[in-house]
Structure 1
Amino acid sequence: MTVFILVAGAFTGPHVWRDTAARLTAEGAEVRTVALTGLGGRLGDPGETVDLETHVADVLAVIDAVAEAGREIVLVGHDYGIHPVLGAADRRSGSIARIVHLDAGVPGDGVPALAAVPDQRVRDEVMERAAGGGERGAGGELPPPDRDGWSRWGSTAGLSDAALDGLTALAAPQPLGTLLQPLRLTGAVAEVPVTGVLCTGNGPGVEVLQILVDVGDPTVRALAEARVPFLELPTGHWPMLSCPAALVGTLIEAAAGGGHRLTVADAVRTPAHLRPFLLDVPQRPRERAGNTDLYLPDGPGPHPAVVFVHGGPVPAEARPTPRDWPTLTGYARHVAGQGVLGVTLDHRLHAVTDYEVAAADVADAVERVRADPRVDADRVALWFFSGGGPILADWLTNPPAWLRCVAANYPILAPLPSWGLGGSRFHPVRAVSRAGCLPVVLVRAERESADIAATVEEFLAEAARCGANVEVIDVPEGRHGFETLAPTDGAREAVHRAVGAVLARLKG
């Protein structure tokens, strides 16, 4: 019999697992839910410091009680819970059959749980409380979120009002020591099989992870090389409350070693982002200057220009760099063949914390392009892709007269919950009301990941409310990065329509 040991995340305790545990039991499994000290477990003795080691000990106690019977143990860590799970599994690696990271990161030795908290404001609050308080009382705990504050810890997609009310009512303060004390691992836990469960309403799914492997993200590539299986749940950050039945099926599959494994590109498999552009576009003259490439149309000009802004984050070590990726070069050559100067560029969006510097790179490139005598400085369009979408907010806010159009393909149009950038200026949903009559061409992929699709729908709802000038071009069966990933006739038609829409606004 498999024994599932379930460890909940920050502010929560065994109560969040009630429906999941009951359903697992009905499927014939044994279930133990760990009551972490201060979070549904004992309160701790007066004067006792509750830290990560306290919670590791809580998990060890349950492991040891179960291991005596010689049963197969599957440890499940949700959110913060993965930290005590890994700490305990490192000390009992021979007793654990598998670790399941349930919408949780992959923390390493010496890393505190605070590093995984997405919201910078929360991290700052923790440090302020740690500096100003004692080991107990207000200075030693982080108060739980109010009903509207849970989204700072992860997407609440899929939660009913009743579930959100219950989550709030039963939440407990999180002892600061559990967030600040570094995780200590000897390396033994590396021998335990691992499965990742991705909640696609809160973060990337398998398809996006594969893209990250292909562009060279070292953390995700290591998971691919280790052949870690991944499973998806189309919900937010609390699947035990939003879809317990689906979660049970996923956990049972995880325990059996099922799931999709990422692959590392080799001589046989070309990474999706480096496959040929879906249109057969002739070569054009190209000039390279600094971080920009100009694809030149026929004639002396001045010509209208389209600046193509790649997505990301893209690791700094990625080769080739984005301005040489077939999607960007394909579009640039395509518009150049129709009398418009196409521009690709590299910007420094290497992490979600880099939007400020990436936006500055884009703004600088645009000004250099406009200063080129072959460019009509009064007729420029910007075209954003994927994770470059948040930079669009700068151009929606009081757009200059020379900006004739903006376009966006499968864009992220609001910071994702796992980014912790909710208060950032890089939030096109909030900016669109200031766009005035600026034309926006939005290319929407039908099979977009849930978390990104949610930002697109939010953007369109706000655009409709404020009367923004938005044209939507849908790609039937389209996926993120469809130009090289899924070159269907419908995708080709969508590209032709999108290019036509942008150029009509540039030339009109």
Structure 2
Amino acid sequence: MTAFILVSESFTGGPVWQDVTERLLASGAEVHPATLTGMGDRRDQAGPGTDLETHIADVVRLIDEAAAPELVLVGHGYGIHPVLGAADRRAERVARIVYLDAGMPQHGDAAIALIQDAAVREELTAPAGDGWTLPSPAADEWQRWGSTEGLAPADLDRLTALAAPQPRATLTQPLELSGAVAAVPTSGIICTASGLSIAVIEHLVTAGPPQFRVLADPRVGFFELPTGHWPMLSCPAELADTLLAAAAGEGHRIAAPAEEVPMFLRPFLLDLPEYPRERIGRVDLHLPEADGPRPAVVFVHGGPLPADLEPMPRDWPQYLGYGRYAASQGVVGVTVDHRLHGLADYDQAAQDIAEAVELVRADPRVDGDRVAVWFFSGGGLLSTDWLSAPPSWLRCLAATYPVLAALPSWSIVDPRFAPAKAVGGAGRLPVVLTRAGLEDPEIDVTIEAFLTAAQEAGTAVEVVDVPNGHHGFEVLDHTEESVRAVEQAMRTVLGHLRSH
């Protein structure tokens, strides 16, 4: 007999699992929907000392009380933290851990690090009110905690009615793990409207940070649900079936990458000498061998990227290469580590870019009236403000394999970040767009929509095509075609910087 312990997202408790619980029980499973201390009808049991360890103890107690010798622990969102903590203490009782639309916290991580909404993170670090609880969301605020795709107004009302204030220390106390939990098989259930998919996970395993390689373990299976962050409300039958399949060890397996070096650490396609590099906060300046103020090109990396990623993009061969290439051409190459760590962080990242550009323009080694801004990949959405009202000193805007509209699964991105709508305000601003012929179809659709909107607005877009190039061709495809494309794009951008 399969036995489940279900642990839900912040503010919620056992009642949100009602429909799923009924279906699992009907299948013959043993089910324990958890209501942690301070949640639901236990809200009066919490106090200033209620923290993550309190919630871990709650789950440990459920494990100890369960009749089944082995259990499947399901952690939804925040719930994965107490699940992992409890499984680490009772690893011999846990047959599988299911990550339900949840992050991958490690030893020492606090749940606050996985909260995408910057305003929520700020609120947690600057307590208001009673100081030890975070107020539960109103019906129109749940999207700050994850996509509400698939929820009817009645579902949101139910979610709000069941919610309780979350003790802050449950979100800020680091997770303590001994390492025992690493031996437990896992499954991931991805809610695609939250911005993730199995295809994205496969890309992260192949090209992303080394910590994602563990997802290629044959004991790890993946499932997708085409819904938002609350599948127990939006599609309970499908979720129940998926949980049963996960418990049986089913799911999509991800192949281990053949290439040991992550994509972002592979060499740039041009072999360039180093130039003096000066670091000022989040900004690096690659300085040319020249007297007097020089034009500058600000390179804006893509994302979202984990906040703890090492190294950060300005130290990747790709952006070191672009910065050095600009310096070799007699202009200041600028790279910026902006804080696009989640899909809700575009506003924060846009502020980082604006501040970086002002810092660069104020530098006496830079001609502040001759600046270009060059966007890459998911950073393409950050071009919105520069297209809608370009300042006179912005001589060119460039974009390489950019995302130019929120992708279908990116429902929590602020809708104001829409380059295709903003391009109508670009006026005479030159735009240089480098397009990869082997682009992801979802991204290619956004590029085509942008080009159509630009044509209708009369904005001149110079397109550099790389017919046989992939997304990230500068490190993936070291071909003559790729080299010519990078050289052509740089030559075109510099031509606009130097024109009168």
| TM-score in terms of structure 1 length | 0.68
Deviations 1:274-298 (A, max 9, x none): 7899xxx9x7998855367899xxx
Given candidates 341, 345, 348, the residue that maps to 2:337 is: 348
Contact residue 296 and residue 334 of structure 2 kept, 8 A: no
Residues 317 and 249 of structure 1, relative CA distance in 2, 3 Å threshold? same
Residues 1:170 and 2:162 aligned together: yes
Mean alpha-carbon deviation: is it higher for 194-203 or for 405-414?
405-414
User: Match of 2:256, SS?
Assistant: coil
Contact residue 5 and residue 33 of structure 2 kept, 8 A: yes
Given candidates 135, 160, 177, the residue that maps to 2:152 is: 160
Given candidates 311, 317, 337, the residue that maps to 2:311 is: 317
Q: CA deviation at 1:404?
A: 5.2
Q: Which runs of 5+ in 1 are unaligned?
A: 134-138, 296-303
Give the corresponding residue for 1:389.
380
How many residues are paired up? 470
Contact residue 318 and residue 474 of structure 2 kept, 8 A: no
Q: For residues 209 and 369 of structure 1, what CA distance do their matches in structure 2 show?
A: 44
Give the corresponding residue for 1:84.
82
Give the corresponding residue for 2:422.
432
Given candidates 126, 134, 137, the residue that maps to 1:142 is: 134
Residue type at the aligned position of 1:89: A
Mean alpha-carbon deviation: is it higher for 207-216 or for 244-253?
207-216
Q: CA deviation at 1:9?
A: 0.8
| TM-score in terms of structure 2 length | 0.68
Q: CA deviation at 1:305?
A: 9.6
Residues 55 and 161 of structure 1, relative CA distance in 2, 3 Å threshold? same
Q: CA deviation at 1:453?
A: 9.8
Q: For residues 232 and 467 of structure 2, what CA distance do their matches in structure 1 show?
A: 32
Q: Which runs of 5+ in 2 are unaligned?
A: 278-283, 289-294
Give the corresponding residue for 1:38.
38
Given candidates 197, 208, 221, the residue that maps to 1:205 is: 197
Residues 1:398 and 2:396 aligned together: no
Contact residue 266 and residue 317 of structure 2 kept, 8 A: no
Mean alpha-carbon deviation: is it higher for 386-395 or for 208-217?
208-217
Residues 364 and 145 of structure 1, relative CA distance in 2, 3 Å threshold? same
CA RMSD of aligned residues (A): 5.6
Give the corresponding residue for 1:102.
100
User: Match of 1:98, SS?
Assistant: strand
Give the corresponding residue for 1:299.
none
Q: CA deviation at 1:468?
A: 9.2
Contact residue 185 and residue 219 of structure 2 kept, 8 A: no
User: Match of 1:258, SS?
Assistant: coil
Residues 244 and 479 of structure 1, relative CA distance in 2, 3 Å threshold? farther
Contact residue 199 and residue 236 of structure 1 kept, 8 A: yes
Q: For residues 49 and 272 of structure 2, what CA distance do their matches in structure 1 show?
A: 67
Mean alpha-carbon deviation: is it higher for 361-370 or for 194-203?
361-370
Residues 176 and 320 of structure 1, relative CA distance in 2, 3 Å threshold? closer
Q: CA deviation at 1:387?
A: 3.4
Q: For residues 472 and 154 of structure 1, what CA distance do their matches in structure 2 show?
A: 38
Give the corresponding residue for 2:252.
259
Report 1:18-417 matches (<5 A).
18-45=18-45, 50-66=50-66, 68-70=67-69, 72-129=70-127, 133=130, 139-212=131-204, 217=209, 219-221=211-213, 228-255=220-247, 256=249, 258-261=251-254, 263=256, 268=259, 271-272=262-263, 288=275, 290=277, 309-312=300-303, 313=305, 315-317=309-311, 321-322=315-316, 324=318, 346-349=335-338, 352=341, 355=349, 382-393=373-384, 395-396=386-387, 398-401=389-392, 403=394, 405-408=396-399, 409-411=401-403
Q: CA deviation at 1:177?
A: 4.2
Q: For residues 23 and 188 of structure 2, what CA distance do their matches in structure 1 show?
A: 21
Residues 346 and 307 of structure 1, relative CA distance in 2, 3 Å threshold? closer
Q: Percent identity?
A: 47
Q: CA deviation at 1:196?
A: 2.8
Contact residue 196 and residue 231 of structure 1 kept, 8 A: yes
Q: CA deviation at 1:440?
A: 5.8
Q: For residues 194 and 43 of structure 2, what CA distance do their matches in structure 1 show?
A: 31
